[in-house]
Structure 1
Amino acid sequence: MIHRSLTAVLAVGALALTACGGESGASTDQQSASSAPDAENVVARVNGEALTAVDLQSQIQAMSQRGQGVNRDQALQELIELELMSQKAEAEGLPEQPEIAATIERQRASLLAQHLIRSQLQDFEVSEEELRAAYEERTADTQGTEYKARHILLEEKEQAEEMIQQLDDGAEFAELAKNNSTGPTKSRGGDLGWFSAEQMVEPFMNEVKALEPGNYTTEPVETQYGWHVIQLDETREAQKPGFEQMKRELRNELVGKKIQDYVGSLRDDAEIEITDGGGEADSGSSN
């Protein structure tokens, strides 16, 4: 079985390109080739080591992916500083240290794996028919009741009882929530929107189910979050999510499955000998 985290990383790498205009891997490669910087164009030398336009372009892309503003001069200076530190690390023999050498090799393998997937994007394209079929399968069992409610969340039972008394005296639920609730829905007058029974903790949900639309709880409801006063606004049959709403999520899953199958085929064709004794890793899980 392929490790899911690796499949997810590869899928993200592939989707990062498909999201840019939805073009195939072939057309993306053609565009990259036509606009690729000249590898012979030296933009700087650091202690005699040449930094090329390709190196600079890679640095600009790395800065952009980190959310930094892309400034060519700034990128060049950062590239030079990286080269200086890399040369110093080499001089001090850091790449020969086993842990550092293993980390470098792991990062290299990860980068090559992502580019392998990107180079074969058209093999992982998902058709409209596949998306529709996945959508129908995912939503086939949509059923049950959804609820639309408000609540006022308070720290003390006595505070909740005071809110109920004010409601009995004719106060508006939304106004009381805005002025008194400690929950994140306070600014919305306690509005929780539409939810299913599975989305709420049991004591809260039991009270919601017992209410008629337009009514509120006559006793405070305790959960691990505090004391609630709840008002049920509406109920409806569970709504099937729209195809467009789910399309991106479904595409990600299907592309990930195709990548998983591809990596599985590589395993099937490979000769793999595991010599690890089966002991636990120092950190994390190997599952």
Structure 2
Amino acid sequence: MFKQTFAAMAVSLFCIGLLLGCKGEEAPKMSVASDDSGEYARVNDAVISNNDFAEFAKAKRESQPEVTFTDKAITDEMIATEILRQEALNAGIGNRPKIIEQIKRQESNILINTLMTEKFADLKFTDEELKTEYDRLIGLSDASEYKARHILLQTEDEAKVVIEELKGGANFEELAKAKSQGPSAPNGGDLGWFKAETMVPAFADAVGKMETGAYSTEGVNTRFGWHVILLEDKRTTEQPAFDDVKQNVQQSLTRKTIENYVDELEGKATITRSDETKKTAEAESKEG
């Protein structure tokens, strides 16, 4: 779970650039002084160097290439930002524990982003590698889609009562409206069409074993509660062509590469988990 979460975050940071937003005005761009370390502007005792301006302006213009930003507009924004930053510090906001924690998280994101960029910026895969990964993913993917309703209850005993009512001829949709404690209750427990992998494992396993038109004769337990399921229909979908999902396959390989990298780092690290953390991890692992 940790590796998947870390990898997903790393891929996200690796793939998504810094977005800076502000309206610009149509005008020619002015040149920046060649002395990178020189003073470009000053706000009280804080110096904005030529290099500070050049980097900010570059990021600004690259993030919104359709807009022409003047040097004056960018300078005004930098000055306004610095004024507000100083005002926030003077107000003691920077000393608040929650703010300090947020700053630490931002620092972590920047560090990880830089690490991922330097480590994997040149990461490339051959068409053969991509095709192999595509075949693997297709093999893992279930082409089946299911249309089902469910009645969500808090206890197994409640599920047993509902099943007995169904055996007695009760209408599933009406029972769902009356007794289900899930968000789909007003719609008679309708879940629409879905793939098994989008559901928690216990629910997916139960649906995969059911016949169309049948309801579960035992309650299905998940972290959400106890489910009584009615499988209304199922169909087989066409698998996507390689060229249509090539980018997704590349992301999958990138994620695997990062997960392997995290595995390597974990192997070198000394990690201690509390008993409560271990119990939580075990419970999540059983749930899927």
Residue 50 of structure 2 is matched in structure 1 by: 53
Residue 257 of structure 2 is matched in structure 1 by: 258
Q: Once superposed, what is the RMSD of the aligned Cα atoms?
A: 4.1
Q: Distance in 1 between matches of 2:86 and 2:243?
A: 51
Q: Distance in 2 between matches of 1:102 and 1:141?
A: 40
Q: Distance in 2 between matches of 1:11 and 1:122?
A: 11
Question: Is the contact between residue 38 and residue 49 of structure 2 (CA under 8 Å) also seen in structure 1?
Answer: yes
Q: Distance in 2 between matches of 1:141 and 1:268?
A: 28
Q: Distance in 2 between matches of 1:250 and 1:113?
A: 23
How far did residue 124 of structure 1 move?
A: 3.9
* TM-score normalised by the chain length of structure 1: 0.50
- Asked if residue 244 in structure 1 is aligned to residue 243 in structure 2, the reply is yes
Question: Is the contact between residue 13 and residue 112 of structure 2 (CA under 8 Å) also seen in structure 1?
Answer: no
Q: Distance in 2 between matches of 1:80 and 1:276?
A: 50
- Asked if residue 9 in structure 1 is aligned to residue 9 in structure 2, the reply is yes
Residue 84 of structure 2 is matched in structure 1 by: 85
Q: What stretches of structure 2 of length at least 5 have no aligned partner? A: 18-33, 146-192, 196-211, 213-235, 279-283
Residue 172 of structure 1 is matched in structure 2 by: none
Q: Deviations over 1:182-230 (max 9, x none)?
A: xxxxxxxxxxxxxxx867xxxxxx9xxxxxxxxxxxxxxxxxxxxxxxx
Question: Is the contact between residue 7 and residue 259 of structure 2 (CA under 8 Å) also seen in structure 1?
Answer: yes
The amino acid across from 1:49 in the alignment is A
After the TM superposition, list the runs of 4 or more consecutive aligned residues in structure 1 that deviate by more than 6 angstroms.
141-146
Question: Is the contact between residue 14 and residue 118 of structure 1 (CA under 8 Å) also seen in structure 2?
Answer: yes
**SS of corresponding position for 2:47:** strand
The amino acid across from 1:120 in the alignment is K
How far did residue 82 of structure 1 move?
A: 1.1
**SS of corresponding position for 1:259:** helix
| Matches for 1:163-242 after TM superposition, within 5 Å | 239-242=238-241
| Matches for 1:95-134 after TM superposition, within 5 Å | 95-121=94-120, 124-134=123-133
Q: Distance in 1 between matches of 2:141 and 2:263?
A: 32
**SS of corresponding position for 1:43:** strand
Question: Is the contact between residue 3 and residue 263 of structure 2 (CA under 8 Å) also seen in structure 1?
Answer: no
Cα separation, partners in 2 of 1:144 and 1:244, compared to 1, 3 Å: closer
Cα separation, partners in 2 of 1:273 and 1:77, compared to 1, 3 Å: farther
Question: Is the contact between residue 40 and residue 48 of structure 2 (CA under 8 Å) also seen in structure 1?
Answer: yes
Cα separation, partners in 2 of 1:273 and 1:248, compared to 1, 3 Å: same
**SS of corresponding position for 2:125:** coil
The amino acid across from 1:9 in the alignment is M
Aligned-residue identity in percent: 22
The amino acid across from 2:45 in the alignment is G
Q: Distance in 2 between matches of 1:68 and 1:278?
A: 48
Residue 75 of structure 1 is matched in structure 2 by: 74
Q: Distance in 1 between matches of 2:194 and 2:276?
A: 43
Question: Is the contact between residue 37 and residue 49 of structure 2 (CA under 8 Å) also seen in structure 1?
Answer: yes
How far did residue 45 of structure 1 move?
A: 1.0
Q: Distance in 1 between matches of 2:64 and 2:275?
A: 36
**SS of corresponding position for 1:51:** strand
Cα separation, partners in 2 of 1:263 and 1:239, compared to 1, 3 Å: same
**SS of corresponding position for 1:105:** helix
Cα separation, partners in 2 of 1:84 and 1:274, compared to 1, 3 Å: farther
Question: Is the contact between residue 41 and residue 53 of structure 1 (CA under 8 Å) also seen in structure 2?
Answer: yes
Residue 167 of structure 2 is matched in structure 1 by: none
Q: What stretches of structure 1 of length at least 5 have no aligned partner? A: 18-36, 147-196, 200-205, 207-236, 280-284
How far did residue 66 of structure 1 move?
A: 7.5
Cα separation, partners in 2 of 1:126 and 1:12, compared to 1, 3 Å: farther
Cα separation, partners in 2 of 1:88 and 1:277, compared to 1, 3 Å: farther
